Structure 1
Amino acid sequence: MSAEAISRDQARELFAKSGLTYSVLSPENMRSLRAKVNEQMVASGVMHGALRCRQRAIVRDGYAVIRCKASYFEDREAITFNPDGFIGFAGWASDGNVQPVLQGFAAWVKEMAP
């Protein structure tokens, strides 16, 4: 992976310090986030090149989620914006396999930040 590895906590800190709030969780912005994460998944070759985002993000009041799939599973968390303010990043994944998710998220935050 060409980008420097970041941790889940560093990604959460990036969001917190960016000035962004959950008000950015519109369907359009979630499509943009999904596209960035999926692009990183494809480029990374993680999980034998099979890791991909599911088609659509789910966006509800105070909650949003992007799901993913690979060769041996169909529906797991990629990113979840929980109603309590916690942002989850592929809790099932190792620190290496989560990198495309975190890298895509970081790129999105940098693009969206005021």
Structure 2
Amino acid sequence: MNSEEARDYFIQKGLSYDDITEGDVCVLVMLLNKHVKQAVKAHTMSVDTMRMSQKIKSKYKTNGILKSCYLYINSHYFTQREAISFNPDNFIGFAGWADSGNTQPLIDAFIEWVDYMSEQLEQISLK
């Protein structure tokens, strides 16, 4: 799946920024860590020093709903490049600086997270 397909998948699953809380972002960060570590171990990223940054820049509405969020990735030769961004205009970006080899683990984590979010919303609506 590529970036555009991942954005479409988010919409197809019926998700929007209104569904995302700070806790949900934490789940995404955990999944990003997992997928980046797997890709580094498998040598599928351009360098084997990629890791998620601890820095998260996010803004929430007073009710806790996401307005914008920027997650970053580091390596031995750069710090805090965009990994995934939830922009204020509802555009979701995936490492615009990177080639497909470096982007794929991020997209894979995002897709796993979208599935998680969709399941959570389904469970909430059943209650």
Counterpart in the other structure of 1:26:
21
Structure with the largest fraction of helix: 2
- Aligned positions, number: 109
Describe the SS at the equivalent of 1:98.
helix
TM-score between the two structures when normalised by the length of structure 1: 0.89
1: CA distance, partners of 2:78 / 2:19: 29
- 1:57/1:24 Cα in 2 relative to 1: closer, same or farther (>3 Å)? farther
1: CA distance, partners of 2:19 / 2:77: 32
Deviates more, 1:67-76 or 1:46-55: 46-55
Residues 1-114 of structure 1 correspond to what in structure 2 (within 5 A)?
6-45=1-40, 46-61=45-60, 62-113=67-118, 114=122
2: CA distance, partners of 1:105 / 1:24: 15
Q: Any idea what the Cα deviations from partners look like across 1:8-65, whole Å, max 9, x if unmatched?
A: 0011011011111102332111010011011100000123321111114322031011
Q: Which structure 1 segments of 5+ residues have no match?
A: 1-5
User: Which structure would you say has the larger Rg?
Assistant: 2
TM-score between the two structures when normalised by the length of structure 2: 0.80
Describe the SS at the equivalent of 1:78.
strand
